[in-house]
């Protein structure tokens, strides 16, 4: 029988999906569904039922949360919270170093601002050394990701010596699923970290609180994940803030990138002034537009809402202006970023701080565990000290990505995607080594961390 002759019910029966799968459509193969593991409705002890619910109370105009026992959903060696560029590298690195890893992400995909934020150009993995030669300093897992994107349709363009390539958000989302699953990482999407778990006894040596995991908010209420080491790669330092780590709070530009389609169909008369159409992407006719936006507080929900609304109005206005330009009628607004572009919010107070002056002068650190590059590859690279990844006053919590310890002057450099890959990679290896050495993250043997990083292809200068 031809496919066209099958009834809808017969078709689903034939491919083994059943009618329940109708919503996902005919393009989902049986194989893709083979991984579904949830066969029972609820796992005992992991779910709030009506009788266990402990709602907040309102008393004298103040809302309070009564004490309640939170079910533990998982126990792991290294818990990584936040699945952006830094978190994915951290999780993969730790898993490759041989420990059990759990990665938590609030949204439905991995990649953070590089996917959900539609930040598509990869700036900062090149440098110019003192001899005037171009050197690619971000290697390791970040470089592996770019290589693998090259092998996927429309994955990456402009990947030439000394240039800054541009990636496709959907291809990168897919690649991350593959790389995280290959590494046997326990993954939780749709899970928003809402608290840190701290041991009731302080560390015997330093007297500091010791982090033991995080609480995530799920549809079944809060659930606990216990861990020997926690890496906060939320970009905003949510978990290290909940754990009581010292940090500084910064305001920075917040904008909303978008993508336009059919830009290859623009045919204007000579002399026509065409509004800005953004930069090329790996997809023919699709361009992405970055947005700088105002300096604002990326932690304030009223401010975030206002920025989101204003940015959408601005994008629409610009789009209509473009579409009304003779010769640009076929252009369409393909997508606004599902996630607002928050650049910097909380920055950890570590035990060592990087500065732009030091980075450009070639400052060295005995604790070097990573290397970062220049925005446009136009100056020398800089060392990432281990002290930029660990808290000065709390044990067993590390950070990677845009929240690592750096002076305000350093923010521009340490937040670009390859440098987040690099610091995330270092945090992942360090956390895994601490688990294996059965010590705190502060006391980890850095020679061993560097050995494993090099084994994993990282560049350390």
Minimum CB distance to ligand FAD, residue 318 (Å): 15
Site string for ligand FAD, 215-254 (x = CB under 6 A): ------------------xxxx-x----------------
Q: Is 415 in the site for ligand FAD (CB under 6 A)?
A: yes
Minimum CB distance to ligand FAD, residue 441 (Å): 18
The H-or-E segment that residue 14 falls in is helix 8-15
Q: Is 417 in the site for ligand FAD (CB under 6 A)?
A: yes
Q: Which of 80, 95, 103, 121 binds ligand FAD (CB under 6 A)?
A: 121
Secondary structure (H, E, C), the chain: CCHHHCCHHHHHHHHCCCHHHHHHCCCCCHHHHCCCCCCCCCCCCCCCCHHHCCCCEEECCEEECCCCCCCEEEEEEEEEECCCHHHHHHHHHHHHCCCCEEEECCCCCCCHHHCCCCCCECCCCEEECCCCCEEECCCHHHHHHHHHHHCCCCCEECCCCCCCCEECHHHHHHHHHHHHHHCCCEEECCCEEEEEEECCCCCCCCCCCEEEEEEEEECCEEEEEEEEEEEECCCCCHHHHHCCCCEEECCEEEECCEEEECHHHCCCCCCCCCCCCCEECCCCCCEEECCCCCEECCCCHHHHHHHHHHHHHHHHHHHHHHHCCCCCCCCEEEEECCCCEECCCEEECECCCECHHHHHHCCCCCCEEEEECECCCCCCCEEEEHHHCEECCCECEEECHHHCCECHHHHHHHCCHHHHHHHHHHHHHHHHHHHHHCCCHHHCCHHHHHHHHHHCCCCCC
* Residues in 27-66 that interact with ligand FAD by CB under 6 A: none
Q: Is 122 in the site for ligand FAD (CB under 6 A)?
A: yes
Q: Which of 155, 372, 381, 401 binds ligand FAD (CB under 6 A)?
A: 401
Q: Is 287 in the site for ligand FAD (CB under 6 A)?
A: no
* Residues in 82-111 that interact with ligand FAD by CB under 6 A: 82-87, 104-107
Minimum CB distance to ligand FAD, residue 238 (Å): 4
Minimum CB distance to ligand FAD, residue 438 (Å): 28
Minimum CB distance to ligand FAD, residue 395 (Å): 21
Minimum CB distance to ligand FAD, residue 132 (Å): 24
Nearer to ligand FAD, 235 or 358 (CB): 235
Q: Give the list of residues 6+ apart from residue 83 with CB closer than 8 angstroms, or none.
A: 91, 103, 104, 105, 110, 111, 112, 176, 180, 189, 233
* Residues in 68-87 that interact with ligand FAD by CB under 6 A: 81-87
Nearer to ligand FAD, 147 or 190 (CB): 190
Nearer to ligand FAD, 108 or 321 (CB): 108
Minimum CB distance to ligand FAD, residue 46 (Å): 19
Q: Give the list of residues 6+ apart from residue 446 with CB closer than 8 angstroms, or none.
A: 367, 369, 386
Nearer to ligand FAD, 266 or 370 (CB): 370
* Residues in 126-185 that interact with ligand FAD by CB under 6 A: none
Minimum CB distance to ligand FAD, residue 439 (Å): 26
Q: Is 113 in the site for ligand FAD (CB under 6 A)?
A: yes
Q: Is 119 in the site for ligand FAD (CB under 6 A)?
A: yes
Minimum CB distance to ligand FAD, residue 377 (Å): 12
Q: Is 405 in the site for ligand FAD (CB under 6 A)?
A: no
Q: Is 420 in the site for ligand FAD (CB under 6 A)?
A: yes
Q: Is 212 helix (H, G, I), strand (E, B) or coil?
A: strand
Q: Is 109 helix (H, G, I), strand (E, B) or coil?
A: coil
Nearer to ligand FAD, 85 or 209 (CB): 85
Site string for ligand FAD, 342-381 (x = CB under 6 A): xx--------------------------------------
Strands (DSSP E) along 311-404, which ranges?
A: 332-336, 341-342, 346-348, 368-372, 382-385, 397-399
**DSSP letter, residue 350:** B
Nearer to ligand FAD, 17 or 120 (CB): 120
Of the listed pieces 152-160, 171-179, 197-205, 335-343, which binds ligand FAD according to CB under 6 A?
Answer: 335-343
Q: Is 124 in the site for ligand FAD (CB under 6 A)?
A: yes
Residues at the interface with ligand FAD (CB under 6 A) = 81-87, 104-107, 112-114, 117, 119, 121-124, 192-193, 233-236, 238, 255, 257, 290-291, 341-343, 401-402, 415-417, 420
């Amino acid at each position: 029988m031809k496919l066209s002759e099958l009834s809808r019910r017969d078709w689903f029966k034939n491919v083994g999906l059943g009618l329940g799968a109708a919503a996902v459509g005919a393009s989902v193969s049986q194989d893709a569904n083979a991984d579904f593991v949830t066969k029972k409705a609820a796992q005992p002890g992991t779910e709030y039922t009506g009788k266990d619910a402990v709602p907040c109370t309102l008393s004298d105009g103040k809302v309070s949360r009564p004490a309640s026992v939170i079910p533990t959903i998982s126990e792991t060696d290294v818990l990584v919270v936040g699945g952006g560029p830094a978190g994915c590298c951290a999780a993969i690195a730790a898993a490759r170093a041989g420990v059990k890893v759990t990665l938590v992400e609030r949204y439905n995909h991995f990649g953070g601002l590089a996917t959900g934020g539609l930040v598509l150009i990869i700036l900062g993995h090149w440098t110019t050394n003192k001899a005037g030669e171009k050197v690619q300093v971000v290697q390791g897992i970040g470089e592996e990701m770019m290589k693998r994107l090259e092998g996927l349709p429309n994955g990456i363009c402009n990947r030439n010596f000394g240039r800054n390539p541009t990636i496709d958000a959907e291809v990168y989302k897919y690649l991350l699923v593959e790389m995280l699953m290959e590494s046997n990482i326990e993954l939780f999407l749709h899970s928003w970290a809402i608290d840190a778990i701290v041991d009731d006894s302080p560390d015997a040596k330093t007297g500091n609180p010791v982090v033991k995991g995080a609480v995530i908010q799920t549809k079944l209420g809060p659930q606990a994940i216990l861990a020997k080491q926690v890496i906060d790669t939320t970009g905003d330092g949510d978990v290290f803030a909940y754990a009581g780590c010292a940090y500084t709070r910064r305001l920075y530009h917040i904008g909303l990138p978008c993508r336009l389609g059919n830009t290859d169909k623009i045919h204007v008369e000579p002399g026509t002034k065409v509004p800005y159409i953004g930069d090329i992407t790996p997809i023919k006719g699709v361009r992405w537009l970055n947005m700088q936006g105002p300096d604002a507080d990326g932690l304030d929900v009223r401010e975030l809402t206002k920025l989101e609304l204003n940015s959408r109005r601005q994008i629409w206005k610009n789009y209509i202006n473009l579409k009304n330009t003779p010769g640009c009628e076929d252009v369409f607004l393909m997508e606004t970023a599902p996630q607002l572009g928050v650049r910097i919010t909380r920055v950890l107070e570590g035990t060592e701080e990087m500065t732009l002056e030091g980075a450009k002068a070639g400052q060295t650190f005995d604790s070097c565990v990573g290397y970062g590059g220049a925005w446009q590859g136009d100056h020398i690279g800089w060392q990432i000290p281990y002290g930029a990844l660990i808290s000065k006053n709390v044990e067993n919590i590390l950070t990677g990505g845009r929240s690592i310890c750096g002076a305000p002057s350093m923010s521009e450099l340490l937040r670009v995607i390859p440098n987040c890959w690099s610091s995330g990679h270092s945090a992942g290896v360090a956390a895994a080594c601490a688990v294996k050495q059965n010590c705190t993250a502060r006391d980890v043997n850095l020679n061993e961390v560097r050995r494993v990083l090099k084994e994993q292809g990282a560049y350390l200068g």
